[in-house]
Amino acid sequence: KKVFYNLIDNSLRHGDHVTRITFSSRETPDGLVILCGDNGIGIPSQDKTQIFTKGFGRDSGLGLFLIREILSITKISIRETGDYGNGARFEMLIPKGDYR
Give the pLDDT of residue 61. 65
pTM confidence score: 0.90
The string of pLDDT tens digits covering residues 60-98 is 667 899 899 999 999 999 999 999 999 999 999 999 999
Are 3 and 71 a contacting pair, CB within 8 Å? yes
Of 7, 87, 2, the C-alpha closest to 52 is: 7
- Torsional sign, CA 10, 15, 16, 17: negative
Would you place residue 100 in the very low, low, confident or very high pLDDT band (cuts 50, 70, 90)?
confident
